[in-house]
Structure 1
């Protein structure tokens, strides 16, 4: 049986902050050194990260407080927000929004520390200072206490948890490839016009003769949520129940995310007049984060789902298929159109009346049918993989606190 001891993070790891080269000096940017910000970890689905959205140069590194961190450094966002965690896949730098832990190999396994920090995110926030923008300082992080077993036991625990995450990440890679394939097919057929039979098709005004343009509101029924007096109050949400009530976190760029859900009772569900999903509906976020979408096909594991006030339901009117609509929403044309019509700087909002005006391509019935059959296979498999990931994450998260506390011996 392993012995567990309390250690301060400063004893088991070297804590290093990040920095940002001057954005006014072009020579500091677009180099070969990965540079990560907390924004790069928003919605990031992997443990390891090789680079962020931007790179810096050697000159940028030497003229800033950024530090080149070794492979397997544990990156912890320390402000805006606190608690994003990742592992450096290679040498990397971060901005000042991180406190990075280089684990001492004889005292801590970097993967164990990654899971320990992920498990203790809420506790970490209690050590932050600053009312408006809370931040974890290096001094405070060094003093945080962690109950740790010996290094071999840490490694065994990390191996168990990593086995789940390996499966999840492999599924996420497959999901990304399937989504990319569906989008490429959409572009090939409806942007480049290389659909089956395009070689002999006659074109008129830039479209095949049997195709036309149609207003979005004519092709799709746009359904708002019920914002009346029966809209659920905070105390009417539960951790389990009859009807899943979507929040902003449940609809991401990559579709549904059911990692944190809220439910309403059957009685409350009956009182609401509109905003309930049917199989085949597409959900679109229209307030705050505009343009995220998800497809409610037969593989989504909830029978009763309602949208909140920051979303709309897009329902098939028999003109274009839901699969076509879902691909369309993720196309550059539609994303630009929604961005153009979105109003409000503090909290952008996409009005339904403006959505209805957007012009979309309406192909002939045969082309629509063949396209739908092809991408339907992709989205059915994606939904199955997402469901598998949710089950794997649930099993991992049940084990994690028991493993981290030593209650489950390994």
Structure 2
């Protein structure tokens, strides 16, 4: 089994993704993949599996592997020819190659596929590729399994929320009168009377020191830092970019300036699950964003304080388990990322 010095273009051929404005998207089963991963769904695929996608603009260095038909967006590059190599190995090689990659075009942050094709890499024969994949994919398969469990816990929480606060089948509902369409004691209140939206603070990628605290952007966790700005658990809301996105932040973290955050004392599980019904949306025509005054004007249906407390107690075990799984995934990813460069340079033999 041997390693060969070659270029990235000898291993894979990359192509720019395809434009798909939101107004042209039709909800369906096909994942839309951008530089930050799956960011939507469509009813038509542009590429067949196996798929390997990486960022062209925006999030640089992340690599996503897909086993279903997909649509790669124009902010991404995707592999159109694996040239006889193991597709998952190609994904790991690309991730290892792009780690800490710096574009020569400082004025226009991004990557040029033609430049990437010329990057010097080392690649083993197909048999060794498959052995390397068997080691690294064991970590990724565990991570994906945990992600599915996290998604299931999230859905169970949302189902319980809908049962109590949309269908009004909460404990003791049989004995509560409905007045003006709401259970007695409930009220409609503008979001601005429930919580304050605080602005995140800029933290450029080059200024981040990799650490234990997650950094949140409008697409979720976008990195880590050695310092936290906000105490968790609390809620993060997309302000620019992925407008109106909502995330539960279980630990202390740093919110960058593309998001709002709610202070810990005002956030709970009920509010996190209620916020999607607020209808947050882009309100700035020139620069897509969520206007704070508009967000404050959106109404939420608020139950009695006692029922809100009961709900928080009911779903807390789900959120605790979710946080445990997220922490486990973080450790798995760290272990995989420590192994990755050592396997890719032949330092560890398999």
Give the structure-2-normalised TM-score.
0.78
2:92 corresponds in structure 1 to 115
Distance 1:79 1:120 in 2: 17
1:280 Cα offset (Å): 4.7
CA contact (8 A) 1:75 1:101 kept: no
1:54 Cα offset (Å): 2.1
Which segments of 5 or more consecutive residues in structure 2 lack a partner in the other structure?
Answer: none
- How do 1:4-403 and structure 2 match up within 5 A? 4-13=3-12, 38-39=33-34, 42-44=36-38, 53-56=41-44, 69=48, 71-76=49-54, 78=56, 85-90=63-68, 94=72, 98-105=77-84, 108-121=85-98, 126=103, 132=108, 136-137=112-113, 142-220=117-195, 222=196, 224=198, 238-240=209-211, 244=213, 247-249=215-217, 252=219, 257=221, 260-264=223-227, 276-277=230-231, 279-287=232-240, 289-297=242-250, 300=251, 302=252, 305=253, 307-308=255-256, 310-316=259-265, 322-329=268-275, 331=276, 333-334=277-278, 336=279, 338-339=280-281, 342-343=283-284, 345-346=286-287, 348-351=289-292, 354-403=294-343
Residues 183 and 133 (structure 1), Cα distance of their counterparts in 2 relative to 1, 3 Å cut: same
CA contact (8 A) 2:61 2:100 kept: no
CA contact (8 A) 1:157 1:403 kept: yes
CA contact (8 A) 2:33 2:70 kept: no
1:315 Cα offset (Å): 4.2
Distance 2:122 2:73 in 1: 29
1:371 Cα offset (Å): 1.3
Residues 395 and 15 (structure 1), Cα distance of their counterparts in 2 relative to 1, 3 Å cut: closer
CA contact (8 A) 2:11 2:90 kept: no
Number of aligned residue pairs: give it: 348
Deviations 1:104-152 (A, max 9, x none): 44xx2221111001122257765x8897585634x65554432012222
Which segments of 5 or more consecutive residues in structure 1 lack a partner in the other structure?
Answer: 46-51, 58-65, 270-274
Which of the two has higher C-alpha Rg?
1
1:199 Cα offset (Å): 3.7
Q: CA RMSD in A?
A: 4.2
Q: Mean alpha-carbon deviation: is it higher for 381-390 or for 95-104?
A: 95-104
- Counterpart of 2:153 in 1: which secondary structure? helix
